[in-house]
């Protein structure tokens, strides 16, 4: 009943105990009461309760020149992530967070608003992992500076309204060459163009940016532009991470800290990320994901700034 929008869970309990609910024509006044919404006819105060919409969770390997939104601005006619998902429920899906117009990699789409909020809200601090190719040979001092936090300006309505230091960032150097470096960054906040701005601040402009994981869910088995539904285990792990992430001590900064929610989204538990290995000596060729984007017509329109 709560999932169908009748009332809050407590409100639904009061409706049942108050004698306002029938199941298949029989009055139900005691809890718990088990029903199958696909088989049973539930009526509240004379109105039939519709069957709740099935929750859908989709992983997309986002290609470049694609908007992380359900619909583009009127008249712009640019490709969106929803355009790439040929799913019966596509019209009701929306992206979880955003990636830049030209940033590639993992983006989730769902019709589960509560989970989407937990995955993106700074309070919960769900980690997002990016693989980045930067220009030049990134040194250890620059890596430590990023790890400690970079002071970034904050803008609102096109104006600078202050600034603050980024929360702790996990950084791993995957490969180095004379002209470029491949690094992996794990963030627990999502400021506008944060990865690009942090690396530019220490003198290493981004050449390629790809998100490879959100919480325990990793991008794998998908070519650029392809999608699939999450597996049952991936959904469970994602919900546990969304319920349990965050630093209750508040030591991770503005967006990584905060108290844990009193009511968990699912049963308590943390889907822990595997420990990161040490620096690996491998070539750029082996470090970069070589999945290629299928040939598509060039889309017109200027990109807009999107959150990473």
Q: Do 150 and 201 meet the contact criterion of CB atoms below 8 Å apart?
A: yes
Q: Residue 228 CA to chain centroid, in angstroms?
A: 15
Which DSSP string corresponds to the chain? Answer: -TTTTSS-HHHHHHHHHTT-EEETTEE--SS-----TTT--EEETTEEPPPPPPP-EEEEEEPSS-BSSSSPPTTT---BTGGG---TTGGG-EESS---TT-EEEEEEES-HHHHHHHH-TTT---EEEEEEEES---HHHHHHHHH--EEEEEETTEEEEEEEPPP-EEEEEEE-SSEEEEEEEES---BTHHHHHHHHTT--EEEEEEEEETTEE--S--TT-EEEPPHHHHHHHHHHHHH-S-TT-TT-TTT-SPPPSS-SSSS---PPPPPP------HHHHS----PPP-PPPPS-----B-
Around Cβ 18, how many Cβ atoms within 10 Å?
A: 10
Phi-psi region of 157 (alpha: psi -120 to 50; beta: other; left: phi over 0): left
Just list the catalytic residues.
100
**How many angstroms separate the CA atoms of 92 and 110, rounded?**
8
Give the pLDDT score at 179: 94
- Domains in the chain, start-ordered, CATH in brackets? 9-48 (no CATH), 54-126+215-268 (3.30.70.580), 128-152+163-212 (3.30.70.1560)
pTM of the model: 0.66
Alpha carbon distance 200, 193 (integer Å): 11
pLDDT, one tens digit per residue, over 275-306 is: 444 444 444 444 333 333 444 444 444 444 44
β-pair type (217-218, 128-135): unpaired
Per-residue model confidence (pLDDT) at position 127: 94
Contact 104, 192 (CB under 8 A): no
* pLDDT value of position 207: 96
Bridge partners of 76? none
Q: Are 6 and 15 in contact (CB under 8 A)?
A: yes
pLDDT, position 156: 72
Query: Per the structure block, which two tokens stand in for 218?
Result: 């990793």
The answer to whether the CB of 186 falls within 8 A of the CB of 169 is: yes
Q: Residue 246 has what pLDDT?
A: 55
Question: What pLDDT, on the 0 to 100 scale, is given for residue 302?
Answer: 45
In this structure, are residues 292 and 62 in contact, taking their beta carbons and an 8 Å threshold? Answer: no
Dist CA 171 CA 290 (whole Å) = 22
Asked if 89 contacts 75 with a C-beta cutoff of 8 angstroms, the reply is no
Low-confidence ranges of the chain (pLDDT < 50): 247-307
Residues comprising the chain, all counted: 308
What pLDDT sits at residue 245?
A: 58
To which residue do tokens 């088990």 refer? 34
């Amino acid at each position: 009943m709560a999932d169908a929008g009748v009332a809050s869970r407590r409100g639904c309990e009061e409706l049942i105990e108050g004698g306002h609910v029938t199941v298949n024509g029989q009055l139900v006044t005691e809890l718990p009461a088990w029903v199958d919404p696909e088989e049973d006819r539930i009526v509240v105060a004379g109105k039939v309760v519709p069957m709740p919409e099935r929750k859908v969770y989709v992983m997309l390997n986002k290609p470049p020149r694609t908007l992380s939104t359900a619909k583009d601005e009127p008249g712009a006619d640019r490709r969106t992530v929803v355009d790439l998902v040929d799913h019966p429920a596509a019209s009701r899906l929306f992206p979880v967070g955003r990636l830049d117009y030209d940033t590639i990699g993992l983006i989730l789409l769902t019709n589960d608003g509560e989970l989407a909020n937990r995955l993106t809200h700074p309070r919960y601090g769900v980690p997002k992992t990016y693989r980045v190719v930067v220009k030049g040979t990134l040194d250890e001092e620059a890596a430590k500076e990023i790890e400690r936090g970079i002071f970034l300006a904050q803008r609102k309505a096109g104006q600078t309204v202050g600034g603050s230091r980024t929360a702790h960032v996990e950084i791993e150097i995957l490969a180095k060459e004379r002209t470029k470096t491949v690094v992996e960054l794990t963030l627990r906040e999502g400021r506008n163009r944060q990865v690009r701005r942090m690396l530019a601040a220490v003198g290493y402009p981004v050449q390629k940016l790809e998100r490879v994981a959100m919480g325990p869910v990793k991008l794998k088995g998908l070519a650029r532009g392809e999608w699939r539904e999450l597996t049952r285990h991936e959904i469970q792990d994602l919900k546990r991470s969304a319920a349990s992430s965050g630093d209750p001590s508040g030591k991770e900064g503005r967006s990584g800290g905060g108290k844990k929610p009193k009511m968990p989204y699912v049963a308590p538990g943390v889907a822990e990320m595997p420990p990161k290995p040490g620096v690996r000596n491998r070539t750029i060729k082996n470090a970069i994901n070589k999945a290629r984007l299928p040939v598509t017509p060039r889309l017109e329109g200027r990109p807009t700034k999107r959150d990473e």
